[in-house]
Amino acid sequence: MSYRVFVPCAGTGSRLGVKTRYLNKSLVSVANRPVLSHIIEGFPDDAEFVVALGYKGHLVREFLTLAYPQRTFFFEQVSVYEGPNSGLGLTLQSCKAHLSQPFVFISCDTLVEEVIPPPDTNWMGYAEVNHLESYRTIAIKSEKVISIAEKGEGEPTTNKAYIGLAGIYDFGPFWDAMDHGQGIARDAGEVFGLRSLIEKVIHAKLFNWHDTGTPDSLALARQRYRDLDEPNILEKQNESLWFIDNSVIKFSDDAGFIANRVSRAEQLCDFVPIVNAATTHMYRYTKAEGKVFSESVTVPLFNRLLEHCEYFWERRALPTNEAIGFRRTCMRFYRDKTLERVELFYKTFDRRDGSEEINGKPMPPLNKLLDSVNWDWLADGLPGRFHGDLHFENILWNTTAQRFIFLDWRQDFGGDLCVGDIYYDLSKILHGLVVCHQIVAANLFTVKWNSKNIDYDFNRKQVLVECESEYLDWLASRGYDSKKVRVLTALIYLNIASLHHDPYSLLLYSLGKSMLKAELES
């Protein structure tokens, strides 16, 4: 049976807080895929989807277009999706022209484990939950719905939580009720129309339900759907990386970021996957075969990677005027960006520049350390082809083909798409050897920060400690300035601290500051 599915994605998702600052709530990740992906893939291939758009609706459209080009979607923009006169009923009415037939209603924050039945009868989904006060509820008799109660009104001993999932077979009476309900129907949403179908019989369907609409319930859903073999991707507010079947989709709220990434993929075509489609805020490429290097690394293989990188880091001889410009770019990228990112860290995490001891060692304010940096020395970079975020989670090793594949390349170096500082890549490698994403993802670190002391600690994999020792020897043998690499590594930690979650952000800041002090004094 071919049928339509209505997914309301117009709301702001305010209950999720900062997680929806840059994304519609239907695109928040669960198991490295948007919630919306889990919903779409829960229906047959011939199901057609009616998607109501509002807040960040262009991103929902972009994602579905890239991720599911073979699926059928009908998009409708909701005129008012927040504030006075908004409501789920209005969202429904906006899509009525596409829903004059039996359809399934599913909230964009509802995930279920069971197969969702078609709308060949009227039915409502419910789940067993411990606390009903946050949910509309249904009373059930002989597996049929006999009443629908608003939040806090249902009998707690007998009613069951309605999960925002329903099959609407008798669409005519449903729409008649919605049309005549006016403001009440606008505020109540689909349950207003469903109440009119109780006399026609609504079957009650039990589901194992996972709500993704609040931070706590989202965390539980993520734990339930977590794949032990999934990549270790550290969450960022304004970026996401999603795995859809055999494709990878990268999102950024910055359109220039995406455009530059796509352009650079063409330049790095022998080293990175081929981008096969792009929109304003996303691009797609076919998933590359291989294991992330963090899961494959040995000291001999690491040395082989360094040989490959030397081939990748094709140096560029710049004429005098371009060399001067490159030094200015390095100065902006290292000094100016660091100062901006540190201020962003203080603002984001409500911290200030202080003199707290770190792991028992006296520390001056960070601004004094940054004033002591020889920025001219750092800005004297090594121009060449660059990756920009070269750590082990962004490198695949394909054992069969015996080749490395680079992922998640940086969009530019201080605005330059072609030439970057090879020292930045060298420092990125060291930063990943010291702080491993797998350790962070497993929360194998601690950080405590009070007015007088900052204490931090983190686990390290022995093989990475061995690789670090090998790496420092390799840098010296190749004539690279090892001290410059270590100072830049400290600055990298300070830069990225503002981009990650608390408490990982606090660890990065503390490590960066203490490492910078140690390097400046050595």
pLDDT in tens, 440-498: 888 999 999 998 999 999 999 999 999 999 999 999 999 999 999 999 999 999 999 99
- Tokens for 434? 């010291």
Walk along the chain (522 residues) and give the pLDDT tens digit of each residue: 689 999 999 999 999 998 999 999 999 999 999 999 999 999 999 999 999 999 999 999 999 999 999 999 999 999 888 888 889 999 999 999 999 999 999 999 999 999 999 999 999 999 999 888 889 999 999 999 999 999 888 888 889 999 999 999 999 999 999 999 988 999 999 999 999 999 999 999 999 999 999 999 999 999 999 887 777 676 778 999 999 999 999 999 999 999 999 999 999 999 999 999 999 999 999 999 999 999 999 999 999 999 999 999 999 999 999 999 999 999 999 999 999 999 999 999 999 999 999 999 999 999 999 999 999 999 999 999 999 999 999 999 999 999 999 999 999 999 999 999 999 999 999 999 999 988 888 899 999 999 899 999 999 999 999 999 999 999 999 999 999 999 999 999 999 999 998 999 999 999 999 999 999 998
Identify any residues that bridge with 240 across adjacent strands, giving them in sequence order.
251
Q: What is the reported pLDDT for 215?
A: 94
Q: Is residue 276 within 8 Å of 248, Cβ to Cβ?
A: no
Closest-CA residue to 514 (of 450, 463, 454, 433):
454
pLDDT on residue 64: 98
Query: Domain locations in the chain?
Result: 4-225, 288-521
Residue 334 is classified by DSSP as: I
b/e 67-92 (16+ beta carbons within 10 angstroms → b): bbeebeeebbebeebeeeebbbbbbb
Question: Tokens 């072609």 appear where?
Answer: 418
Give the pLDDT confidence score for residue 392 in this predicted structure: 93
Cα distance between the two ends of the chain: 72
Contacts of 77 (CB under 8 A, 6+ apart): 53, 54, 57, 94
Q: Which fold has domain 4-225?
A: Spore Coat Polysaccharide Biosynthesis Protein SpsA; Chain A (3.90.550)
Query: How does strand 103-106 pair with strand 160-168?
Result: antiparallel
What per-residue confidence (pLDDT) applies to 93? 94
Please, are residues 6 and 103 in contact by the beta-carbon 8 Å criterion? Answer: yes
At the top level of CATH, which class does the domain 288-521 belong to?
alpha beta
* pLDDT at site 371: 97
What's the residue count for the chain?
Answer: 522
pLDDT score for 155: 85
What pLDDT shows up at residue 188? Answer: 92
